[in-house]
Chains A and B, each alone.
Chain A
Amino acid sequence: MNSAIRNGLGWSTLALMLTSLFMVFEWVPTEAEQGIVQRIFYFHVPLAWVAFAAFGIVAIAGVFYLWLKDQIWDDLGYAAAESGMVFCTLVLITGSIWAKPIWGIWWTWDSRLTTTFILWLLYGGYLMLRAMADDTPEVARFGAVIGIVAALDVPVVILSVRLWRTIHPAVIVTRAGEHGLEDPRMVVTLLVSLTAFTALFAWILMLRFSQLRVRSRLNGMRREAALIEAAARDY
């Protein structure tokens, strides 16, 4: 049942990605001021959306883990943090590639860029903790707390373009309340890309989550084997 859903989601993601690529490279009109480099935004914005969604899931899973102490929530949080980190890294890279021809520099300490970089560092810390420490309930508890605290940066990143002076463009809605995308085809392309990346994230999350469930089961079996061995020695 699960693998059928996963396969279906995988093929749907592929179809959506191909549609999105066709729209980005063939269908959508070129933006007047920035030229073709503006097309990076049709994937940059969805990447940011899925990264934020992933970190939101880490925080929710963290709350449930601290409340219920059930390993399933820790596995979900870990899977979401890892995939969120991949997407967040891509947000920073694609943003930087866009910035070079438009701003003339690869990086600047603008409020949105800086808060996104802080978010990346926070979840980097979370993943380092998980990778270097053993799979114990204490580590899972620390991870849950870090995941919840780090997610507080997500609304700061989103609101940074309104809270502080910034040179980062507001793609969806400008500060004056107008749409940053003047042509309806640009809006449709962005929506298709958002759907494609949401499907991709869901598929990757399912893959990694089911894998971490297997790892937890394996850890349980290792403990069981150690107990049987200890009992045999005592006997």
Chain B
Amino acid sequence: MEHFGYLFGAYSIIFAVIFIYVLFIWRRQAELERELRAMEERIKTLKLESTSSAAKPMEK
């Protein structure tokens, strides 16, 4: 089995790089979903605040 080390090395690198890249995508996905939920909440709050502040002068 001459040169088996090269064959093993090449296939190991292929799967390691692909695995790390997919892991990076998954971790980033989780972060983005968290950011998205936080932003949805923030916009909801901002809209509520702007509605209530717009309604106050009307009451006067």
Q: What's the dominant secondary structure at chain A's contact region? A: helix
Contact B32 A97 (CB under 8 A): no
The docked-state distance in angstroms from the alpha carbon of A37 to that of B2 is 8
Give every chain A residue within 8 A of B4 (Cβ-Cβ). 36
Q: How many residues of A contact B (CB 8 A)?
A: 37
Contact B22 A204 (CB under 8 A): yes
The docked-state distance in angstroms from the alpha carbon of A163 to that of B29 is 44
Contact A229 B25 (CB under 8 A): no
The docked-state distance in angstroms from the alpha carbon of A40 to that of B14 is 10
The docked-state distance in angstroms from the alpha carbon of A140 to that of B48 is 34
A-B contact count (CB 8 A): 92
Instruction: Let me know if A185 is at the binding interface, CB within 8 A.
Output: no
Q: In chain A, residues 88-115, which have Cβ atoms closer than 8 Å to a Cβ of chain B?
A: 89-90, 93-94, 97-98, 100-101
Give every chain B residue within 8 A of A172 (Cβ-Cβ). none
B19 CB, nearest partner CB in chain A, Å: 11
Contact A43 B17 (CB under 8 A): no
A75 CB, nearest partner CB in chain B, Å: 13
Q: With A36-B7, A40-B7, A231-B50 known to touch, is A222 a contact of B39 (CB < 8 Å)?
A: yes
Listed A/B pairs (22) with beta-carbon separation below 8 Å: A21-B11, A35-B2, A36-B1, A36-B3, A36-B7, A40-B10, A94-B14, A97-B6, A97-B13, A101-B6, A200-B18, A204-B21, A211-B28, A214-B36, A218-B39, A221-B39, A221-B43, A225-B43, A228-B43, A228-B50, A231-B50, A232-B53
Residues on B facing A (Cβ under 8 Å): 1-4, 6-7, 9-11, 13-14, 17-18, 21-22, 25-26, 28-29, 32-33, 35-36, 39-40, 42-43, 46-47, 49-50, 53-54
